Amino acid sequence: MPIVKPVFVALSLALLLSGCDHFVNDQRIASYAPGAAQPPIQAVPSALVAQLKTTPAGGLDAASLADLNTLLARQGRLSQQTLTLRPSTPNGERVATRLSEVLRQLGVRQVLVAPTQLQRGGDTDLQVVSEALVAQIPDCTIRTPGEVAVKPFSAVGDLGCANRANIARMVADPRDLNRGQLLDGGDGIAAVNAVERYQRHQTAELLDINFNKN
């Protein structure tokens, strides 16, 4: 009997420590557990308006050029935008005609020039309206920067956010985020021609929507 008691105590102590170890391990795992499932990124209709002023030389002033470039950049790819130009002065009408041609050359498929509606005492000469489906890109900044060293996973925020945001930005047609479409057939000739042009240093320049150069 004296021998059994120490063995029983040692066994009980081992079981107790084992239970504590599992409890501590569960607490550690809980801190790394994934958060709630994030909703899928979708494309939603977006409309932005830029009020532009012309210069006596027949162009746009610096502030108007900056506003126009910002509007086009925020609305995604130019090929997916529908632009409506609404002139309100004779100068705005002349600029709208030139601007519509430049926008078409840059890849905008639908550019509409509305009839001129003269306004007296207005502050702008031309209004540009951009309509498009725009992907809702999530904010992937660190949720609580002051706790990164203590709680790295929970402080960073939703894991995979940056990856999802980058994929959404790379989608050629934002409608694919809402509903998938079948891929078109591959064109081997087009792919080979692209590689050959690259090897011959005959690549085409990328489109630039910076109207400060025009």
> Tens of pLDDT along 91-107?
999 999 999 999 999 88
CA distances from 51 to 8, 131, 133, 150 (A): 85, 15, 21, 48
> Tens of pLDDT along 79-89?
889 999 999 99
What is the structure's pLDDT at 63? 93
Q: Residue 181, Cα to own-chain centre: how many angstroms? A: 20
| Domain chopping of the chain, boundaries | 43-135
> Tens of pLDDT along 139-190?
887 778 777 777 777 777 777 788 888 888 888 888 888 887 777 777 788 8
pLDDT averaged over every residue in the chain:
80
> pLDDT category, 1, cuts 50, 70, 90?
very low
What is the structure's pLDDT at 19? 53
What is the structure's pLDDT at 20? 55
Q: Which residue has the higher pLDDT, 49 or 7?
A: 49
Which class is 43-135 in CATH? alpha beta
Instruction: Count other C-beta atoms under 10 Å from residue 63's C-beta.
Output: 11
